Structure 1
Amino acid sequence: MAIGAVILAETICRFSSGLPPGGKGVRFLHRVHAGPSGEPMRIAIYDLDRTLTRRATFTPFLLYAAWHRAPWRLALSPVWVAAMAGYRMGLCSRTALKRFGMRLMLGDTAVAELERMGARFARRRVERGGMAPGALRSLETERKAGAKIVIATAAFAFYAKGFAKELGIEHLVGTDWDGQRIPGGNCYGRVKRERFEAWLADSAADDVGADIAFYSDSLADGPLFARATEPVLVVSSDREKRRARGRGWKGEIVNWAR
């Protein structure tokens, strides 16, 4: 059985590995304006999963959307679990995994319908206490400081928009989905920094001398941490804090689980 699961996972990931050329990803935004003359701009960037939210969002969204659109697809959940195992074993990229998950659980659902379901999903998570308490306090503090707040996430923009709306955040950088593929790949690691830089350029903001705080639970966000003037690692337990220190993190660490 174990060997069969590995073979299935490898097959799944290879099937999903194709990507179209080009693509810049999604940048859902409003124009950003600098503060009064002489005052440095402050930008506060937040990751979504396990930073603003208590838990990851992609698999819960897949199950939620499949239940509402095609409940029979929930029977395919074991295949999705096998695909995730394949990813953890290094058999495929995160981009390929996410593309496969979308096709497996949601088929050819139109992007507009995904956005509607994403809005309902986000509202449900927020209303049911799915946001990290410390994250909500941080958002309030940054707003009082006059910061421009941005969500920069590997999550698909079609449902990350819902979280942004529920939290009153106008600016979002996320992973694109065109109905079949992920143009430009997953908004993760180096790509996340590149897309933030593109967002900054598109927004016509003057970031010279700006204070840029970046909050994330993942050390894989190293490129954007390096771009920030205030990199902050978010954890949910003392064990995670010790692990981060053991892996060489020397910056600020906050626990937003309480």
Structure 2
Amino acid sequence: MTDLAIYDMDRTITRRATYTPFLLHCARARAPWRLAFAPAVVGLMAAFGLKAIDRARLKELNHHLLLGYARSDEEMKPLVEQFAEATIRDNIRPGAIRAIARDRAEGRRLVMATASYAFYVDAIAERLGFDDVIATRSVRGSDGRLLARILGDNCYGPAKLRMIEEWMAEEQIERSAVHARFYSDHHTDMPAFEWADEAVAVNATGQLEKLARTRGWRVEDWSK
């Protein structure tokens, strides 16, 4: 059975986070008047910082403000394709390209596991040559349109590991039969780091770097 290389995306593969930039890209391209909601977005982020709303609700509300509550695939496709092209061109760490090529050469199955939304992550992952995507999914309305609501879990923290395990079960991958290598920049991915056979802290936050040194995990800088 093929071994796994599982990558976080934002600030691991990419230099910068992608979610808010994606929403701003959509607002500028489709409905510039929605940029007037930027102060409300800042206010929601403050509310999140004060724990008045959770991370998932923050994402749903920002989605609603900057993209709208419901969008068809026909509306989304050009926005997603433009953003994916710009991400590949301007926002990928050089070290990530080398790591992906190495894992592919080793015959590993390349999996992206990210809290960002699947509706735009899929296009980025495809361009980078990933085999599978585990990401935050969206509810669809009865007419098939994408809604500003999260389907199931926000793929973050402990939920990310649960979703990795659920994906493996769906793919009939036995944990004991594979070697799993996991890459991330952030300590909130500790459950997945500890689950992996090989943990790699990439462009690590200070807290993660300290934990990685203590646990003997590899620490890499992909910025150069």
TM-score by length of 1: 0.78
Moved over 6 A (4+): none
Q: For 1:167 and 1:86, locate their aligned partners in 2 and report how far apart those are by CA, in whole Å.
A: 35
2:23 equivalent in structure 1: 62
Q: For 1:219 and 1:51, locate their aligned partners in 2 and report how far apart those are by CA, in whole Å.
A: 12
1:212 equivalent in structure 2: 180
Residue from 103, 113, 135 that aligns with 2:64: 103
Q: For 1:152 and 1:188, locate their aligned partners in 2 and report how far apart those are by CA, in whole Å.
A: 9
Higher alpha-carbon Rg: 1
1:256 equivalent in structure 2: 222
Unaligned 5+ segments in structure 2 are 140-146
2:9 equivalent in structure 1: 48
Q: Please say if residues 201 and 212 of structure 2, whose CA atoms lie closer than 8 Å, have aligned partners that are also in contact.
A: no
The verdict on how the C-alpha distance between 1:227 and 1:116 changes in structure 2, with shifts beyond 3 A counting, is farther
**Aligned AA (1:94):** R
1:141 equivalent in structure 2: 102
1:185 equivalent in structure 2: 153
1:123 equivalent in structure 2: 85
> 1:205 deviation in Å?
2.5
Higher fraction of strand: 2
**Which structure is higher in RCO with an 8 Å CA cutoff and minimum separation 6?**
1
**Residue 198 in structure 1 maps to residue 166 in structure 2:** yes
Q: For 1:183 and 1:196, locate their aligned partners in 2 and report how far apart those are by CA, in whole Å.
A: 16
> 1:136 deviation in Å?
0.7
Q: Please say if residues 187 and 207 of structure 2, whose CA atoms lie closer than 8 Å, have aligned partners that are also in contact.
A: no
Q: For 1:43 and 1:212, locate their aligned partners in 2 and report how far apart those are by CA, in whole Å.
A: 5
SS at match of 2:59: helix
Q: For 2:207 and 2:192, locate their aligned partners in 1 and report how far apart those are by CA, in whole Å.
A: 22
Q: Please say if residues 27 and 34 of structure 2, whose CA atoms lie closer than 8 Å, have aligned partners that are also in contact.
A: yes
Q: How many residues align?
A: 215
How high is the sequence identity, in percent, across the aligned residues? 36
> 1:148 deviation in Å?
0.3
Q: For 1:132 and 1:152, locate their aligned partners in 2 and report how far apart those are by CA, in whole Å.
A: 17
Q: For 2:151 and 2:66, locate their aligned partners in 1 and report how far apart those are by CA, in whole Å.
A: 19
**Aligned AA (1:245):** K
Q: Please say if residues 118 and 162 of structure 1, whose CA atoms lie closer than 8 Å, have aligned partners that are also in contact.
A: yes
Unaligned 5+ segments in structure 1 are 1-33, 35-40
> 1:206 deviation in Å?
3.7
Q: For 1:115 and 1:197, locate their aligned partners in 2 and report how far apart those are by CA, in whole Å.
A: 29
TM-score by length of 2: 0.89
Across the aligned residues of Structure 1 and Structure 2, the Cα RMSD in angstroms comes to: 1.9
1:89 equivalent in structure 2: 50
> 1:180 deviation in Å?
3.5
**Aligned AA (1:222):** M
**Aligned AA (1:117):** L
**Aligned AA (1:226):** E
**Residue 173 in structure 1 maps to residue 139 in structure 2:** no
